Amino acid sequence: MHETSHAKNELEHERGYVDGLYRRLDQLREEKARQLAEVRRSASAGSHQNRSERDAFATMYEDRLAQLNAVDDRLVFGRLDLDDGEERYIGRIGLSTEDLQQLMIDWRAPEAGTFYQATAFERMGVRRRRHLILSRRDVVAIEDDVLDAGLLSNDGSLQGEGALLAALNSRRTGQMSDIVGTIQAEQDRIIRAPLSGVTVVQGGPGTGKTAVALHRAAYLLYTHRDRLKSAGVLLVGPTDAFMKYIERVLPSLGETGVVMAGIGTLMPGVTTVPEHDEGAAALKGRLEMAQIIRNAVANRQRIPAEPRRLNVEGTMLTLAPRQVARARDRARATGKPHNEARVTFVKILLRELTEQLTEQLEASSGPGNNADRAYLAEDVRSSRDVRIALNLAWMPLTPEKLITELLSKPAHLAAAAPHWSEEDRALLLRPADAPWTEADVPLLDEAAELLGELDASAGRDTAAREAENRRDLANAERTLENVNASLVDSGVDGVVTAEALAQHNAVSTARLSAAERAAGDRTWAFGHIVVDEAQELSPMQWRLLMRRCPVKSFTVVGDIAQTSSAAGSSSWDQALEPFVGDRWQLEELTVNYRTPAQIAEAAVRMATAAGLVISAPKAVREGRFAPVVDRVPDLIPALLQAVPEELDIVDGGLLAVIAPEDQLDDVRRALTAEYGDRVGSGAGGPTQDIVLMTPRGSKGLEFDGVVILEPQLMLDSATARVGDLYVAMTRPTQRLRLISTGTIPEGIEG
């Protein structure tokens, strides 16, 4: 906008209005902080019901305060001037005066949709769309889209071009920024799509897939609050680095109620590492693993080959194979999971053994002996021989124990997967103490479904249970002593009982949000699931996610051309057909906002020359630099010579060095020796402006500059995929450099 007197006046007007919005935001913060403090001061007195009500208010105030704190940066970003003369400000949340006069509309509200959707060809009642460009709380510039066809030509392809390009050209920080002020029409249409069903968002690099996914999660929670508040929304990403990269976006959009999880974290209590063996990952990802795990569970319900003699208080009983078989069949007929059906199995055999013991004792004591035999059932139940026999026939199991033994004992795996070749089974076998991998999580989840809850007391004798109960009681008594002492110190009269403590704990649990409860509950059924980089998921991982959302309400985001996992998908139909048939809708993003045209074109040429079928989204901007290609005799010296030049070019931005996995350690040692703590991994940290990673580790991330080492190796190694190099080449927003001691992949140099 030209620096005219009118322009200056408009800028000053907007600064005044925005100052008023921030004053209102600060007033609301102070109000909620005061209300929260009052509730907390009164929380320790009164009845349990009163405390429960106060806890509910405290949770409400805490959530609102968190939201108000999260939206401080660039609170407002737009204004609509409508045909009827109304001026409508658009921001991260809705704001009103104390007498409910509207000051700003939440970007997710229906009335705000025209900010993203209106064009010169379909104005939707909008005369002008104004973009407010803020730095923190300060309005630094304004930009107008005049939509009156007689005043300004506009093809509707880009909205707020100056604001958009300013955002694209800004330095990367290692944390993803929201695009709420620069959402484009094709993105907005997907963000506001209906909740129900499966929406697939296919988009090449730089098209804003992840941003669309995050903004859609925020929009759905706002629009369908009643339905999703209790069920929650799950957002699944490919790596821990990726989840860290995006973690601030949703709070900045006014949402704190989404469960964000890497695919390897979806089994509560289990810590995982990446699955580096691609052969094992591919096998574990097959849907037939579900049947193999089912076989493994069935194989733990055993019938002895011969009758077993059992000593019960000096009397010998016989447990016949036919008895075990009959009890097993009746337990299976209940349809309950393994551990729950075991109760039926044990109950049947304990009753039959008690009857057998009763008959033997009555026979040995002679006729007419009608002594009370009620204690005999306990004798049978507590017999060591009986416990061993029942556990051998039907052992209570945890998912971890079942899968550990399946993958570490050749006989167990052979019995569960007899149709597999020895070579395939050998790929899965590993030591019993091996760490869990991301590919194991769906197997553990499947086992948990088949096994059900484990009775903590199953398989242990009475003495052991009583000893544990005594330990628990002693711990509880010590806890109560500490609680009562704290109350006395606080000036509160009275003694806390175990019952009161239990009620207090129940209230504390009730205070948790749906997101907090869902994060620790494997069986939680979400109202909607958003999956980013979804092309990487194996069929078993899809099976796990479908179980988490029985209503099959999904937003699936990815790019088939970027598939790098051996267990990933080659088409969306392949990924989804086993679970939802053809009941899914495809949306495509067609514009590359991130990658400069010169770099995007080189990546497309390389991928096409290597035989990869890709969609090539149109880049919206020319960069300052064409890709730089260095052919060198020695890799490390060339890298150390190139890095200072690249750091100077990105000028305080973020530089990624992407290398084949087998060269990562050597490169890290060299960079760390030269740059120390400035070298990081993933998306970096506050003081780390050089990050080192593999091509797959860079998936979903973006950097100001990228240096790729040995690009041909990314195509030639045994585990390589064309998509890996394609992903690496499309990460930069400004500059791409490739360094090779060998050949350069065809197409990169035009």
- 107-121, 288-302, 318-332, 724-738: least confident range: 107-121
Q: Residue 678's closest CA among 650, 700, 697, 701?
A: 650
- In 107-242, which ranges are E strands? 126-135, 138-146, 198-203, 233-237
* Confidence band of 500 (pLDDT split at 50, 70, 90): very low
211 and 121 within one domain: no
In a domain, 399, yes or no: yes
Q: Which two tokens stand for residue 662?
A: 């087998």
In a domain, 499, yes or no: no
Between 710 and 243, residue with greater pLDDT = 710
pLDDT of amino acid 738 = 96
5 and 131 within one domain: yes
Residue 156 assigned as binding residue = no
The two beta strands, 138-146 and 528-531, are unpaired
330 and 431 within one domain: yes
In a domain, 745, yes or no: no
679 and 714 within one domain: yes
CATH number at residue 670: 3.40.50.300
228 and 120 within one domain: no
CA–CA distances in Å: residue 98 to residues 30, 31, 58, 157, 596: 14, 12, 21, 40, 47
Residue 452 assigned as binding residue = no
Number of Cβ within 10 Å of residue 96's Cβ equals 13
Contact 529, 545 (CB under 8 A): yes
Contact 242, 206 (CB under 8 A): no
Residue 207 assigned as binding residue = yes
616 and 558 within one domain: no
Once rounded to an integer, what is the mean pLDDT over residues 640-665?
92
Domain range for residue 144? Answer: 1-159
**Total count of domains within the chain:** 4
* Confidence band of 368 (pLDDT split at 50, 70, 90): low
- Quick: pLDDT tens for 167-214: 555 555 555 555 566 678 888 889 899 998 999 999 888 888 888 888
pLDDT of amino acid 515 = 64
Torsion (CA) 398, 401, 402, 405 in degrees, nearest 10: -170
pTM score of the predicted model:
0.74
Contact 596, 622 (CB under 8 A): yes
Please, what is the end-to-end C-alpha distance for the chain in angstroms? Answer: 38
337 and 257 within one domain: no
The two beta strands, 198-203 and 584-589, are parallel
Q: Which of 541, 564, 591 is the last residue of a domain?
A: 591
Cβ neighbors of 744 (< 8 A, separation 6 or more) are 629, 631, 711, 712, 738
Query: SS3 for 473?
Result: helix
Residue 162 assigned as binding residue = no
In a domain, 490, yes or no: no
650 and 584 within one domain: no
In a domain, 616, yes or no: yes
pLDDT of amino acid 484 = 45
Q: How far apart are CA 258 and CA 151, in angstroms?
A: 43
- In the numeric block, the tokens 């998936």 are attached to 699
Residue 303 has pLDDT above 50, yes or no: yes
314 and 206 within one domain: no
Number of Cβ within 10 Å of residue 205's Cβ equals 27
Residue 581 assigned as binding residue = no
Residue 209 assigned as binding residue = yes
- Quick: pLDDT tens for 81-95: 998 889 999 998 999
424 and 289 within one domain: yes
Residue 203 assigned as binding residue = yes
pLDDT of amino acid 611 = 85
- In the numeric block, the tokens 């080192």 are attached to 692
Residue 254 assigned as binding residue = no
CA–CA distances in Å: residue 543 to residues 168, 376, 549, 579, 693: 37, 47, 10, 8, 30
97 and 15 within one domain: yes
Residue 112 has pLDDT above 60, yes or no: yes
